Chain A
Amino acid sequence: MPQANVVMTVRKISATTSIIDIEGEVSAFAEDVLMEAYTEASTPTTRNIILNFSRLEYMNSSGIGLLVTLLIRVNRQKQRLLAYGLSDHYRRIFELTRLNEAIGIYDTEADVLTVA
């Protein structure tokens, strides 16, 4: 199976908030990378998981499916999933797939941190 062409790094902003910076392609092959990043980002005190899409290069429908399964995991831990840095194209994808109804979307890191 092809290798994942994505790098995800975790920044713990506070005891309650972590950011996952996504660089590259989000497709089915990114599953292990995404779930490992979430495991690192999630602590017993974490309440907000923020996805930074500003360096996203490519996402297909399997990638959107990954975000849904991530959302379920996040909600199960009574955490919120938020996102920022989406281009107009990917914002439209979030609307088309109705992910925007479950994942809070913000323009910048500063914007999302005001609600986190």
Chain B
Amino acid sequence: MTTSSTPSNEEEAAQPRDEAFWAKQASTFRVTRVPTGALNLNVEGRQALSPLQGFGQMWQKTYRVQLKGVTVQPAEVIKVWKENFPKFWPKGNRFYGPLTGIAPGEVALLNLTMAGGMTLSTGVLVLYADDESFTLMTPQGHMFAGWITFSAYEGDGCTVAQSQVLIRANDPMYEIGFRLGGYKKEDKFWEQTLTSLAAYFGVEAEVQIQRILVDPKLQWSQAKNIWHNSAIRTTFYKMTIPVRWVGRLFRATPETKH
């Protein structure tokens, strides 16, 4: 009697269609590889956050660009977006993606430029990825608690590319920063990204923005998130570089004398 190792038709039918598109790992970040030049801080061991675990007001913001005048399918837009994701980002911000590309469960490192030239080291988890969309989820310490979904669809007689965030500021410091201009900066970031994506396809188009305040309430129980604030931790790390350098000198093994 032979035993088949391939799933039966019944087993295949029982598997949900979306199973392969979701990350499989638990909601803790694991960095398997640090690309050259990336600062790996504030990611390993951090918990992934939904908007429910953030502090600030919950916003849903949708950034859309219509790819008029070109014939390109939504799946092609997403394929290009995944393959060139860092290239479409504004200068000064680095996305160090995994070698395997944007795939469910992968963790990418981010080195971002903040106001005043401050840098922030954090990361994102690829929560979901299929042919027409992919979603990144943030860790503890990131400016946001929540998700950002990149998608493309047929609408208005052309293909539309879209970024949609569903987020809260992670802690009180970030919430203050966003209200003092950070949100405008974030709008500009995604406007520039979508403009670059459209330019790749030879389209010059205006980015439309829709902002919805989903929940105006602050979640004071999550104010403690400031403990993991990646901006503070990155700044502290950089300020203590000289101290660590001196420490390494003292720990260096002396040469053996013959």
Contacts and interface: CB of A to CB of B under 8 A. Distances in A.
A99 B21 CA distance: 18
Interface stretch (A15-23, A34-42, A59-67, A105-113): A59-67
A102 B52 contact: yes
Nearest to B129: A61
B60 A98 contact: no
Interface residues of A, number: 28
B234 interface: no
A95 B27 contact: yes
Given A58-B17, A68-B214, A76-B215, 10 more contacts: A2-B153, A57-B17, A61-B128, A61-B133, A62-B135, A71-B52, A89-B16, A96-B23, A98-B27, A99-B50
Interface residues of B, number: 34
Contacts of B15: 89
Contacts of A4: none
A77 interface: no
Interface in B18-48: 18-19, 21-23, 26-27, 48
A67 to B, nearest CB: 10
B166 A68 contact: yes
Interface string A1-33: 110000000000000000000000000100000
Contact of B48 (A76, A87, A98): A98
Q: Is the interface of B mostly helix, strand, loop or mixed?
A: strand
Nearest to A66: B166
Contacts of B26: 95-96
A93 B22 contact: yes
Interface in B48-65: 48-53, 58, 60
A69 interface: yes
Nearest to A56: B16
Contact of B154 (A2, A60, A87): A2
Contacts of A62: 133, 135, 149, 151, 164
Interface of A: 1-2, 28, 57-62, 64-65, 68-69, 71-72, 76, 87, 89-90, 92-93, 95-99, 101-102
Contacts of A102: 52
Nearest to A87: B16
Contacts of A92: 22
B214 A60 contact: no
A102 B164 CA distance: 22
B50 A68 contact: yes
Contact of B133 (A60, A90, A95): A60
A90 B166 contact: no
B130 A60 contact: yes
Contacts of A58: 16-18
A60 B18 contact: yes
19 contacts: A1-B154, A28-B151, A57-B16, A57-B17, A58-B16, A58-B18, A60-B18, A60-B128, A62-B133, A68-B166, A72-B58, A89-B15, A90-B16, A95-B26, A96-B26, A97-B50, A98-B49, A99-B52, A101-B53
A69 B146 CA distance: 12
B130 A97 contact: no
Contacts of A61: 127-128, 133, 135, 147, 149
Contacts of A72: 58, 214-215
B155 interface: yes
A59 B162 CA distance: 19
Contacts of A28: 151
Contact of A96 (B17, B27, B52): B27
